[in-house]
Structure 1
Amino acid sequence: MEVEEAPGYGQFEVKFTGKSIIKAINPLPGPHILTLSNLDLLSGRFPVTYFYFYSKPFHVSNFIPIVDILKTSLAQTLNYYYPFAGRIIPNPNTGEPEIVCDNKGALLVEAQANIRLKELNFYNLNQCLQQGKLVNLTPDFPLQIQLTHYTCGGISITFTFDHALGDASAFGNFLVSWSEITQKKKMSCIPNHRRNLRARFPPTYHPSLDQTFVKCTIEEIINMPTNKIRLKRLYHIDASSIERLQKLACINGYKRTKIEAFSAYVWKVMVSAIDECHSKCKMGWLVDGRGRMCGDENSMSNYIGNVLSVAFAEASLIELKQNSISDIANNVHEAISKVTNQDHFQDLIDWIECHRPGLMLSRIVLGQGGPALVLSSGRRFPVAAVDFGLGSPVLGTVCSTIERIGVAYLNQRPSARGDGSWTISAILWPELAAALESDTIFQPMSAGHLQL
């Protein structure tokens, strides 16, 4: 699908000026294999990219010292996050991926943009991702970083991780640790690389998991129906809008979270963006199991790996049209509650054990089962805290370079402004984008929102 350049934005070009392989300065004594957990296998191997943008630091006038400082601190950080400097290759016997911790290194690319940071089209992420301008991936490196300098002195840093390395919580810990080491601060997280999420013997699970997850082939993944889900967009949502939605969701004595209220609103809006041949639609939520596996979130807060499941709910279009935000938020709350417990995550680990080896995915993510949208909440994901001596970023968000995707996605992050507003990164079909933008809640991200 052709993506037109938005009016009012100059032609964005990037010139690559340098490439370095950064290795841990104190590597392990010898290479060793880190076996992935069952939940790592479920998350798969696709790339996850985080974008951080910094306006010109008042005390920095030269790009070269910044690059040198980041290279040095990254090498120090990889001492603690050594799997991020390894290789991910198939096990010769099972074919399942495993991490070879051999300090091959992370790839760091330097680039120069031809525009000022404020001229970047923050709304149309398709444009930023075209031709590898801000994310130029090389398959051999599980961690890749690109530092791009803008004509105004602003800087963007994009971090791309192989999902086998971990999930948002793991990557957030890495980014905070790197920024702390850069600023010569004490590390607030000592990473745990044990990946000790084991199946029971014998494994057993609730039969409902067979309806949610499925073993699949690489051909099914490559050929999944995309349902026109190709628009990559970035939105700003005011704190006042979030609070208003939460008030609507909390009537009748119910106490609902901001995410539950926001989900109810989005689910209701979806109705106008679905073809009449469908009578139902689904919504899903990524759920972090760190606080559920042990009953104490802090006990796994430094766990580096994947501890994710997904909750799903289905509703008829008629039901969504007629019900209030409060009614729909109750359905959201009930669906999420079903997976926010230790039994669910242990069942999921056992389900994967029963279906190894091979590829496994959620049926909905694979594009099976009609129109659907998945929401990922990153309310605790570090944004303002990722400071490499450049000051706090004006924007920190996530996006995917994947071309084929079977389900719409919304990724919520707190705004770098620290005023309670949100940044939403989205992958949508055109009708859904139009429906969300028809209201004042989803505001196309602009330089004005970032106070550039």
Structure 2
Amino acid sequence: MDSGNFPVTVKRSEVVAALLPVQEHWLPMSNLDLLLPPLDFGIFFCYKKISLSPENMVAVLKKALAQALVSFYPLAGEIVQNRHGEPEILCNNRGVEFRHAYADVEPKDIDLYRPDVSVHGKLVPVKKHGVLSVQVTELKCGGLFIGCTFDHRATDAHSANMFLLAWAEIAQAKPITRLPSFRRSLFNPRRPPQSHKSLDKLYAPRLSMPSSPPPDDHDHLISRIYCIKSKEIECLQSDASYNGTIRSKIESFSAFLWKSIAATCDDRSKVVKLGVVVDGRTRLSNKAMSLESYFGNVLSVPYVEASVGEIQTTPLKDVVDMVHECVAMASTAEHFLALIDWVEMRRPNPAVVKVYCKDENDEAAVVISSGQRFPVQELDFGWGKPDFGSYHFPWGGETGYVMPMPSASGNGDWIVYMHLKKRHLDLIETRAPHLFRPFSCDHL
């Protein structure tokens, strides 16, 4: 059997609402939420053979989900437009799409290296309504696959992780470690707004959603998942550090990937853009206020660009300095306060990060987000931790997306989801096979 060509049968489809009634109300988006276009992102995790019956496991998941939605009630709502044409969350407890499915396949036969054919729309649902969609798929061997699709306008990865962890804790009758906060006033603009002109280089008015180019065999974006060994990550970090300056693993990896993409291009005048997602929670938190429990988007995406020739000839340690400076620019409270003000001065006109807008001379543009806080080892619903977990984010347009996250093994390895042009992925694999190892069941 083709590892992507296995049948998935939906046994039951229903809607799971919050266990307790919710007073219908509108939850406005913060200015940082408004920077997100209508995009969905997926998270999935796999459990190998479990002693419990599938029906019992699904019952546990549904019951715990209904309880979790009491605290995470916006996930049971829907996103609608207000009179200004801006999105808001209508908290009406319409519920979460919940599907119980069966896949006639063993875990070892699922080609997780190619999630476009094995996961997308099969094991991770395509969300049709609401803010969240869930699919629980029992496998031929008695294993279980849980796939969730979130509306990115309502939640970032930090918030999704917080919900997943609470869902698992409730399933085990444990108290929720972190109750969510939806206090939008934390992101009110200053009076008067104090925007920085530097933000005009990072963000632009959003006229429409970038559309994906028509697929062909050489230039369309595809998704692949790799396993990178911990020793290789440490070697990469060592190569990128110098004179007592220790760069982070994600900065070192980002610089290496930036150089790797540039190395695949022969036209040295072309430009490669690299964006890095920065979470503003720690930047905006202080002794009087912590944003660790805040549910919503607290993100900025600064980016750096250079010609193919410049990237190719610049040593890795200098390229990682460029990445570090890019991240540092957005790693201050003032950057996020100014970004909130920048959005306010342009409302209700939507905006988008510029790295998502392709120029004629661009060879490639890619955004890297660190999923190192993905709590894959803590997602125990009562039958043990997952054997595998990953994001799945084929977000459309022509900008790539990369998300490294910890392996469920807990040994320091990374699972790296990459959504890039096929030719770039093929050449990167060829040039660095020691680093980018296609994920297989052998890694479970």
Q: TM-score scaled to structure 2, two decimals?
A: 0.94
In structure 1, the residue matched to 2:41 is: 48
Deviation of 1:128 after TM superposition, in Å, equals: 1.9
Amino acid at match of 2:57: I
Encode CA deviations 1:111-135: one digit per residue, 9 max, x unaligned: 11111111000101110245x2123
- Structure 1 unaligned segments of length 5 or more: list them: 1-6
* Per-residue deviation, residues 84-110 of structure 1 (Å, max 9, x unmatched): 11111111x101111111111111101
RMSD of Structure 2 on Structure 1 (CA): 1.9
Distance apart, 1:334 and its partner CA = 1.1
Matched, 1:192 2:181: yes
> Is residue 183–residue 389 contact of structure 1 (8 Å, CA) maintained in 2?
yes
Cα deviation digits, residues 266-314 of structure 1 (max 9, x gap)? 1111112235174331211000000111346981100000000012112
CA distance in 1, matches of 2:261, 2:194: 36
Structure 1 counterpart SS, 2:391: strand
State whether structure 2 residue 432 is matched by structure 1 residue 428: no
CA–CA distance in structure 1, aligned partners of residues 350 and 45 of structure 2: 32
Cα contact 2:277–2:302 (8 A) shared by 1: yes
Segments of 5+ residues of structure 2 without an aligned counterpart are none
Displacement of 1:13 in angstroms is: 1.5
Aligned-partner SS, 1:431? helix
2:67 counterpart of 1:67? no
Residue 9 of structure 1, aligned match among 3, 24, 33: 3
Provide the residue aligned with 1:166 in structure 2.
155
What is the deviation of 1:354? 1.3
SS in 2 for 1:89: strand
Whichever residue aligns with residue 101 of structure 1, its letter is C
Report the equivalent of 1:37.
30
Contact 1:27 1:82 in 2 (8 A): no
Q: Does 1:232 align with 2:223?
A: yes
Match of 1:88, SS state, is: strand
Tell me, yes or no, if structure 1 residue 121 matches structure 2 residue 115: no
Which stretch shows the higher mean deviation, 160-169 or 314-323?
Answer: 314-323
Q: Equivalences for 1:295-306 in 2 at 5 Å?
A: 295=286, 299-306=290-297
Which of 203, 213, 219 is the matching residue for 1:213? Answer: 203
Shift of 1:254: 1.3
Partner Cα distance (1:410, 1:208) in 2:
25
Secondary structure at the aligned position of 1:252 is classed as coil
Of 14, 20, 30, 1:20 maps to 14
Question: TM-score of the superposition, structure 1-length normalised?
Answer: 0.92
* Identity within the alignment, %: 36
Q: Hey, what's the Cα distance between the residues in 1 that align with 2:135 and 2:149? A: 9
Q: Which residue of 1 aligns with 2:436?
A: 442
What residue number does 1:316 align with? 307
Match of 2:391 in 1: 398
Instruction: Tell me: CA distance 1:315–1:297, structure 2 relative to 1, closer, same or farther (3 Å).
Output: farther
Could you tell me whether the CA contact under 8 Å between 2:212 and 2:397 is conserved in 1? no
Q: 1:255 aligns with which of 246, 256, 260?
A: 246
Higher mean displacement: 273-282 or 359-368: 273-282
Offset from partner CA, 1:47-97 (integer Å, 9 cap, x none): 11101111112x32x110111111111110001001111111111x10111
Q: Look up the SS of the partner of 1:149 in the other structure.
A: strand
What is the aligned counterpart of 1:137 among 123, 126, 138? 126
- Which position in structure 1 is the counterpart of 2:90? 100
1:307 aligned onto 2:301: no
CA distance in 1, matches of 2:414, 2:86: 37
Partner residue of 2:345? 354
Q: Aligned letter for 1:266?
A: L
Deviation at 1:35, TM superposition (A): 0.6
Distance 2:45 2:289 in 1: 26
350, 367, 372: which one aligns with 1:379: 372
What residue number does 1:78 align with? 69
Distance in structure 2 (CA, Å) of the matches to 1:297 and 1:277: 50
